[in-house]
Amino acid sequence: MALQPMTVSEAPPKELQAASEAALEWINATQGSHYEITGIIDAEDTVAQARNGSFELGLVLCDGDVCAREQVLVEQSAEGFRVSAADVDDPLIPPLLDPPIGVRTGWLNTQLDKHKFVVLVFYRGLW
């Protein structure tokens, strides 16, 4: 079975915005983190699944210069959304990864606003 390439969108589509925010809030609360959403994995497929009321949501999250991939299960309910960790054995995008291309520019500009210069060290494709 051939692996299907994944697409990563920089922002959630409007159909997934509320679910994405609920997932982000849950992840930050359970992990004690301050992540921001920097990407949604396979957004179009997820929108189609969301119509069923329960779906997996793949998020690329960054907190400063640390980025991670999180896969969560989202269930729609009368109160909003219930979020839990999805059971993923081998994610196709590694759990810790480089920030998406668009985020790198923003991160670098933020660091240059705080410091006179920034040193970037590249090691095996990671920054």
What is the per-residue pLDDT across 60-115, written as a single tens digit (0 to 9) for each? 888 877 788 889 999 988 888 899 888 766 555 555 555 556 656 677 788 889 99
Which residue is listed with tokens 């497929």? 45
pTM higher than 0.85 for the full model? no
